[in-house]
Structure 1
Amino acid sequence: MRSKYRLGADAGGTFTDFVLADNAGNVRLYKTPSTPDDPTRALAAGLELIAHDLGLTPAEIVAESDLCINGTTVGLNALIQHKGAKVGLLCTAGHEDSLEIRLGHKEDGHRYDPEYPPATMLVPRHRRRPIRERVLSTGEVRIPLHESDVREACELFRAEGVESVAISFVWSVLDPSHERRAAEIVRAMLPDVPVTVGSELYPQVREYTRTSTAVVNAYLGPIMKAYVERVDRFFRDLGAKQPVRYFQSNGGLATGAVMADRSVYAINSGPASAPQAGLYVAEPFDARNVITVDMGGTSFDITLVKDGVTNIKKNADFLRYRIGVPMIQVETLGAGGGSIGWIDELGLLQVGPQSAGAVPGPACYGKGGTEPTVTDANLVLGYVSPEGLLGGRMALDRDQAVEAIRRRIAEPLGISVERAAYGMFTIVNNNMVNGIRRVSVERGYDPRDFVLVAAGGATAAHITALAREMGIGTVLVPKLASGLCAFGQIISDVKYNHMATAPLRLEGNEAFARIDALFAEIEAEGRAYLERDGFDEETIAIRRSMDMRYVGQVHECTVEIGNFRIDASTIDEVKAAFHRRHEELYTYAEPRTPIEVVNIESTFFGRVSKPQPPRIARGGDPAALKGRREMIFDASGSAITAPVYDGAKLGAEAVIAGPAVIEEPTTTIVLEPGWTARLDERGTYVLTGSSA
């Protein structure tokens, strides 16, 4: 760290988390309610908390920070709520409906459901304008660009009040000249409207994927641009010496200018840092198989790391929209502290995906909420302190929680409030367990081979119940759990993905030279990005990959290769890597079958220095046992009296046996009967149960 501090701010749907690390190894965590209408209000509130704690001003903190990093759900929320920009699309004539045809594909789980509704189109049919032009798969221009079609489309877009334009022509990745000329015309006629050029954003084969990715980028672009400008101005006015960095869904940092231009990378901005943080927490315990789960106020996010490698997905459907650019694979459920309990038409209790959000929030927040939520249930069960959240700064009203559960759940089902609350707890846990199974069991991984890392403010109240259901015997809960994604952001590198298409067989010196030249071309571009960002040769790292398949196959697989020259002397190494990867994915390889390349990609890392890990002193405070309260641990609704510990007063190597609750300032750890917690000197609780 070049300065005294590094600041990470992760804006979630309910809370905004702040992590401040200093160069002495101290890491501090703060939380404040999110302000979706104006994110800078939450940033200001969080900085005021930090300033009060340190005896400084917000300006002094920002000026002394080498990096101020922001993760945001702005792009994700806009896509979920369909509140993006008004988009116009220029496409090759005859391909106006490719977005709706969707390659004839229905999402998994609905493939044979005739009643499953079509996805909402981000660009309505009349704003998808046909442009006469045609490039063939050989790169030959069959029909020149009809510039008059582009101008007519611009006139329509002006009349329609279009706020963003996407351009995607067939085979533009082989000859992008038509797209580039169309973009010039649009920028001249609509100078205030941002333009997304498909062959620049996603220069890879697959027209539908490229078009969909370009449209999503255009849909989010104006929103992200406004957000970035607002946040950049906020930190600049406070005296920031470095540009704000934003966390991308590919697992790395980027400047605001890049984030605004490539807004599709902002979709999973917040939870994409979880794998990096989970590995950091697990590394001292020699664990490289990690499942990180993050239960916040609105959602439950799951990521998986196998052998230290995070799952990356490309060319996949996200919220029903095909996105081609690389994204950290995050399974997201509508299961958070604000998830609402309700009774369906069959009279069965359900929880989520509807959420009370930050406003009005759970009934116990006392902000006008009347629906029973998971947080209300945890309060009734005795898991959450009646003194409130955030170290008592956010008061909770237990009577309101009881009334909401009684009126909406208990009375209609004819059961006690306590049994109703435990039923909500059990159902939301089952929902989360099913999500964990989807990223592990359904992909061929045994969850018992993994450690479970808890992130998010609400996770620790459920973590032993989740581990018990999954048969996982070791759980790691860092003191920073509720802000773990924000912490993951401050230990991450700057990261950019640069791609090119290369549809050719992996045979002959001409093909090898073509691939090598394309890598050189995109790597010169990527290095320039990082050099402009202040990185030098010693801090730049590059990782190459190629999308390959056997000749005759429809789908390709991504294979990492070394950073060597592609020629006759190294090609066998490339082929061997493909055969190995194909066998890992599909259980077989065909070494005698010719291989063809589809796309190539270079991932660039600008390495940043990492903060020192925290250390907890031994001994602790005898007053760590702060009292006892009644808690419910089974479906009978019967309460037992269990101890409550103040985590801030526990010393390293302290051991707590369940049933018990450990209260940290921003999270609560519930130890079910049979579980034990040991506080490691690095500030991580190591939880072990009967499954260990």
Structure 2
Amino acid sequence: MSSYRVSIDIGGTFTDCTIVDEAGAVTIAKASSTPDDFSRGFIDSLEAGAQHLGITLADLLKDTARLSHGTTVGINAVVSRTGSRVGLVSTAGHGDALRILNSEGRTNGQPVERILNYAASSLPERFVLREDVREVNERIDSFGDVVVPLDEEGLVNAVQELLDQGVETLAVSFLWSHLEPRHERRAKELLDARFPDLYISYGSQLARRMGEYPRAATAVLNSYIGPLMRDYVTRLLDRLREHGYQERLLFAQCDGGLVDALDIVERPVMTLESGPVGGVIASQRAGAEVGHEHIIAADMGGTTFDVSVIADGRLPVRDAVVVEQHDLFLRMVDVESVGAGGGSLAWVDPQSGALRVGPQSAGADPGPVCYGRGGTQPTTTDADLVLGLLNGDNFLGGRMKLDKEAATRAIAQLGDQLGLSVMECAAGIQEVADSLMEDKIRSMTIARGHDPRDFTLYAFGGGGAVHAALFTRGLGIGRIVIPVGDLASVWSAYGIGLEGYGRTYETPMFMRVPLDHARVAEGYARIEQLAREDAERAGIAWDTLVQHRSADMKYALQVYDVEADVPAGDLEAAAMDEIVETFSRTYARRFGEGVGYPEGGIDLMGLRLVVAPADPLRPVTATESSAQADAAPIGERDVYWPEHRAVSATPVFNGPSLPAGTVIEGPALVDYPDTTAVVRPGLTLAVEPGGNLTIELGA
């Protein structure tokens, strides 16, 4: 009997599944995502995986030791505004914090062209209506002392008023609750007793950090998607139980750890952008196996192109994010996206007459025109097919046929508007999409002080291997890695399977340097006890976890704080000096030498503890293949190469049969069941002993 490790990532177009057996062999499966009920696509992908293994779904689930899942249910509800109607209860006098938006809501998180053109910007759509806000008398000051007691009767009456006018869920966020949460705790006792079925989020439970607006916004977003996620988790667990699965279902979080499904019901906001994080984790660990410390992780999926930058082998993590122009206190692996995926729609700007691609997407339904599901507007995938880069007869390993004639007609109609031939228009779609991807990488590297020439780019997702040589060409990157061949197409799902139990704990602590080591040690002891209790509830042995400590610090007269590592072991006076030195180096590395102001003093703002597996899973070095080793081409395909401005017969290789050491000169195509590696003219692809494909760009 095998013991499988199964991981599933739901994207906007496809639901990806990886199944790893005890020997490390990986089985790949894909199914169309089902936006009307994502749990159907989840089960469909499991069915496809079971078929690949030649067993029933019931047998697969019976032998599954761990099932982990990254979901887009929450972020889809946020973007499409299909969450619950939320009421907000705040401290008297502070009910408009969400409306004020820290005075930067019009341009918050917007691209530079929107920031520079103020007239084109707009305030974000609110997640809380003004009439759905109630203020309650209570006040705790900045020292954590109660100034005005909580008006308990007023609180209950305010919530009842909100429910009477149609509010479905509730967020409670009081001033200074991160420092002293006693009023929010009392509110929870009262409201749980009075409204036991009401979904309620509390700011102090989600973010123990100073910042009235982002803390309240985090609580609101949590309640906005809470009932939707609760229903999804319940429905998914019921479906799994029907098919015989009795183990725990683990959900990926945006900070890179896995938690039980029931924990996600309470903190669904932690699932936002959890899927793309899996690909970053897989890239980091795969890079460590081959000595790549500086990695650009580039994931081209069906809806978006996601980028993350790994420097010195460390996952990039940020403590605050912008979601739909709202600031949230979410600790998240730093991934940024642009609407340039395979399903991104091509269109003509009515004002400029220029060709545009995205951010609108055809999604899973109807999908690109070539899917034959009713789509009429061409996409990047349609362009790739018309150019000859994709094998329409063997898409997804033959499980799906692509209609090249329909894609050609759609692109021809678009080309007529632009005065371009079919091939010129298809190449133009590709050019525009790749320029968007290149710009996103540039903003994540050069704009942040990283030289892309020092990095290796890991290209994955269904379209990563197709487009990588184009969206890297202007950046000076010397090498592209397509991880383990076909596994690249489901790399994020595979990365979710590599994740382990992980939680982050924070506590506010304001202190001016010199630091009191006894207070710091006491603060860490307090949050470590919380971590131990959570691990015990989750059935995780404490000695299987490793703890990483850090502190948020800043120069007293400056605005932005940075995260500084805190040494392991006893926190004596010498350790305090080391913390300050680490902060100074970190600040200089991020903002530049000499920009700090130590003469004004240095402030400690908060403590953080991250727990993670002490022995993390290592990535596979090669996938199993039934194909016989053969480095010869299996045929040719007519491809339009813009470099030559002509169609030419291009050799096609069968990726799974290529032995290690194979070197292929471009132009060439390497077909896998779920992706195609495109070797453009003048480039060289090599098959590495570990299964990776590398393309040398000769920067």
TM-score, structure 1 normalization: 0.96
- More displaced stretch, 196-205 vs 626-635: 626-635
2:429 maps to 1:428: no
Q: 1:416 to 1:454 in 2, by over 3 A?
A: same
- Residue of structure 2 equivalent to 1:67: 66
Preserved CA contact (<8 Å) 2:25 2:623: no
- More displaced stretch, 677-686 vs 638-647: 677-686
Report the secondary structure of 1:469's partner residue.
Answer: coil
Preserved CA contact (<8 Å) 2:26 2:624: no
1:455, CA displacement in angstroms?
1.2
- More displaced stretch, 107-116 vs 675-684: 107-116
**Of 640, 648, 652, the match for 1:644:** 652
The amino acid that maps onto 1:73 is T
1:654, CA displacement in angstroms?
1.8
* Structure 1: runs of 5+ lacking an equivalent: none
Deviation per CA, 1:213-244: give whole Å up to 9, x if none: 11111112111111222222233333334311
- Residue of structure 1 equivalent to 2:167: 162
2:57 maps to 1:58: yes
- Residue of structure 2 equivalent to 1:657: 665
Report the secondary structure of 2:473's partner residue.
Answer: helix
1:282, CA displacement in angstroms?
2.3
- Residue of structure 2 equivalent to 1:385: 391
Report the secondary structure of 1:270's partner residue.
Answer: helix
Deviation per CA, 1:564-601: give whole Å up to 9, x if none: 33343321111111111111122234455422111111
The amino acid that maps onto 2:214 is T
Question: Take 1:612 and 1:598, find their aligned partners in 2: how far apart are those partners?
Answer: 37
The amino acid that maps onto 2:79 is I
The amino acid that maps onto 1:685 is L
Question: Take 1:662 and 1:672, find their aligned partners in 2: how far apart are those partners?
Answer: 11
**Of 359, 370, 388, the match for 1:353:** 359
- Residue of structure 2 equivalent to 1:375: 381
Report the secondary structure of 1:265's partner residue.
Answer: helix
Report the secondary structure of 1:545's partner residue.
Answer: strand
Preserved CA contact (<8 Å) 1:90 1:128: yes
**Of 213, 222, 229, the match for 2:234:** 229
- Residue of structure 1 equivalent to 2:611: 604
Equivalence map 1:37-186=2 (5 Å) = 37-105=36-104, 106-107=107-108, 109=112, 110=114, 113-115=117-119, 116-186=121-191
Preserved CA contact (<8 Å) 1:276 1:488: yes
Equivalence map 1:383-532=2 (5 Å) = 383-407=389-413, 409-478=414-483, 479=485, 480-507=487-514, 509=516, 512-532=517-537
1:662, CA displacement in angstroms?
0.6
Question: Take 2:372 and 2:86, find their aligned partners in 1: how far apart are those partners?
Answer: 40
Question: Take 2:512 and 2:324, find their aligned partners in 1: how far apart are those partners?
Answer: 34
Aligned CA RMSD, in angstroms, stands at 1.9
Deviation per CA, 1:349-389: give whole Å up to 9, x if none: 11111111111111111111100111110111000112141
Preserved CA contact (<8 Å) 2:643 2:681: no
The amino acid that maps onto 1:596 is D
* Structure 2: runs of 5+ lacking an equivalent: none
1:466, CA displacement in angstroms?
1.8
Q: 1:612 to 1:460 in 2, by over 3 A?
A: closer
- More displaced stretch, 282-291 vs 335-344: 282-291
Deviation per CA, 1:291-338: give whole Å up to 9, x if none: 111111111111110001121111232221111121111110101111
Q: 1:624 to 1:195 in 2, by over 3 A?
A: farther
TM-score, structure 2 normalization: 0.95
The amino acid that maps onto 1:463 is A
Q: 1:520 to 1:348 in 2, by over 3 A?
A: same
Preserved CA contact (<8 Å) 1:535 1:606: no
Deviation per CA, 1:525-565: give whole Å up to 9, x if none: 11211122222232111111111112222221111212333
1:3, CA displacement in angstroms?
6.2
1:620, CA displacement in angstroms?
4.5
- Residue of structure 2 equivalent to 1:633: 641
Preserved CA contact (<8 Å) 2:515 2:576: no
Ranges of 4+ aligned residues in structure 1 off by more than 6 Å: 616-619
The amino acid that maps onto 1:107 is N
Preserved CA contact (<8 Å) 1:301 1:333: yes
Preserved CA contact (<8 Å) 1:232 1:243: no
Question: Take 2:93 and 2:115, find their aligned partners in 1: how far apart are those partners?
Answer: 26
Preserved CA contact (<8 Å) 1:92 1:169: yes
Q: 1:207 to 1:565 in 2, by over 3 A?
A: farther
- Residue of structure 2 equivalent to 1:290: 295
1:609, CA displacement in angstroms?
5.6
